[in-house]
Structure 1
Amino acid sequence: MDEVEVVVAHAERATLRVGDVFLKVDPDQARIDIEVAAMALAPVPTPRVLWHRPPVLAIAAVPGRALGRLGEPSTSSPAAWEAAGAAVRKLHDGPPPSWHGRAGRGPDELAAALDAECAWLVRNGVLPAGLVTRNRQVAEAALRPWTPEFTHGDLQIAHVFVDGDEITGIIDWSEAGRGDALYDLATLALGHEEHLGDLFAGYGTDVDLDVIHAWWSLRSLLAVRWLLDHGFDPFAPGCEVDVLRSRL
C-alpha cells in the first residue's frame, strides 16, 4: 500500500499525496470551484481532475519535477526557464475568465493592505523600519493600472513542472482569475533573479523590470505575517526576507 505523504498542511487547507494521486482538502468551496474551472480553461498543461467531492479534490500527479524551490538554487536548464516563460505567455494570451483572482486586486486595495502590513511589521519588531520603508517605496511601482489577463495568481516556482526542457504541468490554480500578468512573472522568478533573462526570452514581450522588482517587494511584505502565522519561515535563506534585503 502507498504511504500517505503530507505535501502541505495548515489551518486553511491541506494537500496529501498517495501514490500518483494528490488529495486537496479545502473547506472553502469557492477556492476548489475556481481551481477546477481554471484548470479546464487554462491553455497550458494542468493536472487531470480525477474526482471532486467537497471538501476534497483528487487530481493526478503531473510528470517531471518542479522547476525549482524558493530558497534553493534552481538546477533546471536555461531552456526549461525559457519554456516556462513561453507557457506563461500562452496563459496570459488566453481569454481571461469571468472572475478576478489574487492578482486582480486594484491599486487602492493593494496600497491599503500594504500599509497595514508594513505598520504591523514595524510595530511588532518583525522587520527593521528602514527595510520596510525602502521596500514600501519600491513596491509603489506595482500600484498602477494594468490590463486584466488570465493569471495563475500563485505561480510559485514549485508549481511549474518540467521534464528536461519541456513544461509538463502547472499546478495549484485556486487563486487564478483576471489579474496583472506581471504579478505572475514576478512570483515565478521570486528569489531567482539570475533566471530572469531566460524567463523573459520565453515570454517574448518587453517586461518592465521596475514593476517586477516592485512585485517582489510587495508580495514579500504582504506574505511575512501569513507565513509566520501558518508555520512557515520567511527568514529562511533565499526566502521572502532575503528578497526584501536585496532591495536595499
Structure 2
Amino acid sequence: MDEVSVVVAHSERATLRVGDVFLKVDGDRARLDREAEAMALAPVPTPKVLWHRPSVLAIAAVPGAEIARLGEPSTASPAAWAAAGAALRNLHDAPLPPWPARGGRGIGELSAELDAECGRLVTGGILPADLVTRNRRVAEAALRPWTPVFTHGDLHVAHVFVDGEEITGIIDWSEAGPGDARRDLATLTLGHQDRLGDVLAGYGTDVDLDVIRAWWSVRSLLAVRWLAEHGFDPFAPGCEVDVLRSRM
C-alpha cells in the first residue's frame, strides 16, 4: 500500500503525495481551476492532470529531478539550465492566459506592498534596518512599466524538473498569469545567481540585469516573514536572507 506523505501544507492549501500521484487541495476553488487551465495552455512540459474536482486537483508525478534546491549547489549541467531558459522563453512568447494578473497589482500597489512589508521586517526585529533599506533601494529598479507575458509566477528551482539536459516538467502553476518576464527569470535563479548566464543563453534575448537583481530583492523581502511564519527557514544558508545580504 502506498503511503500518504505531506509535501507542503499551510492555511491556504496543501499538497499530498500517494505513490506517483499528487493531490493538491486548495481553499480557493478559482485558483485551482486557473492552475489546471494554465497547465493546459502552457507550451512547456507540465504534469498530466489525472482528474479535477472542486478544491482538489490530482496530477501525475513528472520524471527526472529538480534542477536545484535552494541553499544547495546545483548538480545540473549548464545545458540543463539553458534548456530551462529556452522553456521559459517559449512560455513568455505564448498568448496571454484569459485572466488578469494575480491580485490585479500594478506598480503602485506592488510598491506599497513592498514598503509595508519592509516596515514589518524592521519593526518586528526580523531583519536589520540597513539590510532592508539597501534592498528596498535595489528593488526600485523592478518597479517600472513592463509588457505582460504569460508567466509561471512562482518558478523557483524546485518547480523545474530535468533529466540530463531535458526539461521533463514544470510544476505548481497556482500563481500563473500575466506578469513581468523578468520576475520569472529572477525567481528561477534566486539563490543560484551563478546560473543566470546559462539561463539567459537559453532564453536568447537581451535582459536588463539590474531588473533581475531588483526582483531578487523584491521576492526575498516579500517572502521572508511569510516563510518564517509558515514553517520554512529563510535564514538557512543560501536562502532568502543570504540573497538579501549579497546585495550589501
TM-score normalised according to structure 1 size = 0.98
Distance 1:104 1:148 in 2: 12
Structure 1 distance, partners of 2:26, 2:243, is 30
- Give the deviation of 1:105 after TM superposition: 3.0
- List runs of 5+ in structure 1 lacking aligned partners: none
For residues 47-58 of structure 1, the aligned pairs below 5 Å read 47-58=47-58
Deviation at 1:103, TM superposition (A): 9.4
Q: How many residues were matched structurally? A: 248
In 1, distance between residues paired with 2:101 and 2:67?
A: 23
Matches of 1:181 and 1:136, distance apart in 2: 20
CA distance in structure 1 between the aligned counterparts of 2:22 and 2:159, rounded to whole angstroms: 14
- Whole-Å Cα distance in 1 between the matches of residues 233 and 62 of structure 2? 27
Structure 2 residue ranges without an equivalent (≥5): none
Q: Distance in 1 between matches of 2:61 and 2:207?
A: 32
Partner of 2:120: 120
1:212 is matched with 212
**2:180 aligns to what?**
180
Match in the other structure for 1:233:
233
Q: Which residue matches 2:14?
A: 14
- The residue that corresponds to 2:2 in the other structure is 2
2:44 is matched with which residue? 44
Give 1:100 deviation, angstroms: 2.8
By how many angstroms is 1:160 displaced?
Answer: 0.5
Q: What is the percent sequence identity of the aligned residues?
A: 79
Aligned to 2:64: 64
Counterpart of 2:83, as a letter, is: A
Shift of residue 9 of structure 1?
1.2
Q: Which residue of 2 aligns with 1:107?
A: 107
Residue pair 1:101, 1:153 contacting (<8 A) in 2 also: no
What does 1:125-140 correspond to in 2, within 5 Å?
125-140=125-140
Matches within 5 A, 1:146-225: 146-225=146-225
Which range moved further: 141-150 or 98-107? 98-107
Q: Deviations over 1:69-90 (max 9, x none)?
A: 1111111010000000000000
Shift of 1:12: 1.3
Other-structure match for 1:247: 247
Q: Report if aligned partners of 1:51, 1:59 keep a CA contact under 8 Å in 2.
A: yes
Q: 2:208 is matched by which residue type in structure 1?
A: D
Q: What residue number does 2:28 align with?
A: 28
SS in 1 for 2:133: helix
Shift of 1:135: 0.1
Q: 1:102 to 1:234 in 2, by over 3 A?
A: farther
Aligned residue for 2:119, secondary structure, equals helix
The offset of 1:143, in angstroms, is: 0.1
**Structure 1 165/190 Cα, relative in aligned 2: closer, same or farther at 3 Å?**
same
Distance (whole Å) between structure 2 residues aligned to residue 160 and residue 101 of structure 1: 22
Cα offset, 1:98, TM superposition: 2.0
- Tell me the secondary structure at the aligned position of residue 52 of structure 1: strand
Query: What's the RMSD between the two structures over aligned residues?
Result: 1.1
Point out 4+ residue stretches in structure 1 off by more than 2 angstroms. 100-105
Letter in 2 for 1:44: V
Residue type of the partner of 1:148? P
Give the secondary structure class of the aligned counterpart of 2:173. coil
Question: 1:46-97 deviations in whole A, cap 9, x for unaligned?
Answer: 1111011122110011110111111111110100000000000000000011
Please give the per-residue CA displacement for 1:123-173, whole angstroms capped at 9, x wherever unaligned: 111100000000000000000000010000000110011011000110000
In 2, the alpha carbon distance for the partners of 1:7 and 1:95 equals: 32
Deviation at 1:229, TM superposition (A): 1.6
